[in-house]
Amino acid sequence: MEEARARQILHVDMDAFYASVEQRDDPALRGKPVIVGGRSRRGVVAAASYEVRKFGVRSAMSMVEALQRCPNAIVVPPRMRHYADVSERVFDIFHRFTPLVEGLSFDEAFLDVTGSQRLFGDGIAIAKQIKGAIREELDLTGSAGVAPSKFVAKVASDLDKPDGLVVVAPESVREFLEPLPIERMWGVGKKASAQLRARGFQTIGDLAATPVESLEAVLGSWGRSVHELARGEDDRPVVPDRDAKSIGAEETFESDLKTVEALERPLLHQAGRVAARLSRSGLRARCVTVKLKYHDHTSKTRQMKLPEPIADTDSIYDAARSLLPRFPPIARGVRLTGVSVSDLHEGPAAPTLFPDEKRARREQIEALTGELRERFGRKSLTRGRLLDHHARGDDDD
């Protein structure tokens, strides 16, 4: 009975997305160590091909360090508009199998295919068809996890990259999670994992077996969610962006930020993610909200209504930044920032007088956002409304 009713959730994540697109488009790059990122002194690695990962090059690493590790790497500047176009094609494939597609970034999404099985077969069959279409139509690869919940599907998709397909049956969820290291938990970053390991927790099974109170003692109110997830209890629905009342991105920092200037970069990064999701859904927004969580875990939000609906990164960022002076002083530290938009409307953006200039500027910012996104860890970014406390993904492209 339980099994018969179990949901079929897919998490699909493209492999080394930006780098793979570059290798696909330029045969001279195939099989070579390729880094997508800025060449400048302060440039960071936005994406690393699998060939260059062998040298220890990783996303978010400084370009200087990356080139020390692999002096022969080929550095390609990011083409964010192009990746956004390829992303559209990937999401088009997802939408053939279910309308319930919830994007987490350009290259990863949750799909609820429970209701699609009569047409397309079970979750495994659908994952294979999606991977096949991505390969045949786009000449790219993605990895998929199939499970009864979002959390388990996301963990599963990351276990056998690249070109992976990991299936977790409903009755095997606990057994699947138990031996995994705590760093695989959604939400456990370096800081939390150090705290947990110091107290003897090493595997997700350890987290599941302990009383919830001992996790709350280490992690605060977030301990309860971790306890539930560790036990495979996760009934969060897949919410398509189109049905969302709001779209948001937020991030918890490893160490608190203490100046307004320091907050600007994560806000830009989050505005970019929100803009990407808006444009993919054909939506615009008239309300922008910024959330700050302070060092003592209190949260404040400030929001503004806009005269015209907006959808682009710099408009969202400008609005978000203009809200900062309305917050209480941040000198004692901010541990999380979030940007979300609401009052969503369908339809194309209003025409502008100088569309090309506007677009050029937007492209610049999107390229920058791509770098920042990696620097601040796309790992830590997901929609705020999903995991209210410490939203962190844990994929590596």
Asked if 229 and 240 count as a contact pair (C-beta separation under 8 A), the reply is no
Least CB distance from residue 137 to Mg ion, whole Å?
18
Of 91, 96, 124, 128, the closest CA to residue 110 belongs to 91
Residues 277 and 84: their CA atoms lie apart, in Å, by: 10
Catalytic residue among 22, 51, 102, 108: 108
- Nearer to Mg ion by Cβ, of 164 and 232: the residue is 164
Residues 70 and 100: their CA atoms lie apart, in Å, by: 41
Question: Cβ atoms within 10 A of the Cβ of 296, count?
Answer: 8
- Nearer to Mg ion by Cβ, of 14 and 219: the residue is 14
Retrieve residue 252's tokens. Answer: 């918890």
Least CB distance from residue 132 to Mg ion, whole Å?
18
Least CB distance from residue 374 to Mg ion, whole Å?
12
What DSSP letter does each residue of 194-258 carry, written as one string?
Answer: HHHHHTT--BHHHHHHS-HHHHHHHHTTHHHHHHHHHTT---PPP--GGG-SEEEEEEEEEEEE-
- Nearer to Mg ion by Cβ, of 241 and 314: the residue is 241
- Nearer to Mg ion by Cβ, of 241 and 397: the residue is 397
Q: Which residue is nearest to Mg ion (CB)?
A: 397
Beta strand 246-257 pairing with 334-346: antiparallel
Least CB distance from residue 56 to Mg ion, whole Å?
19
Residues that bind Mg ion (CB under 5 A): 13-14, 17, 107, 397
Question: Cβ atoms within 10 A of the Cβ of 125, count?
Answer: 15
The residue ranges of DSSP E strands in 258-316, in sequence order, are 283-294, 299-310
Least CB distance from residue 210 to Mg ion, whole Å?
32
- Nearer to Mg ion by Cβ, of 13 and 251: the residue is 13
Decide: residue 245, CB within 10 A, 0-12 exposed, 13-18 middle, 19+ buried. exposed
- Hey, CA dihedral for 43, 49, 51, 55, is it positive or negative? positive
- Nearer to Mg ion by Cβ, of 10 and 285: the residue is 10
Least CB distance from residue 107 to Mg ion, whole Å?
4
Beta bridge partners of 337: 251, 292
| Catalytic residue list contains 108 | yes
- Catalytically annotated residues: 108
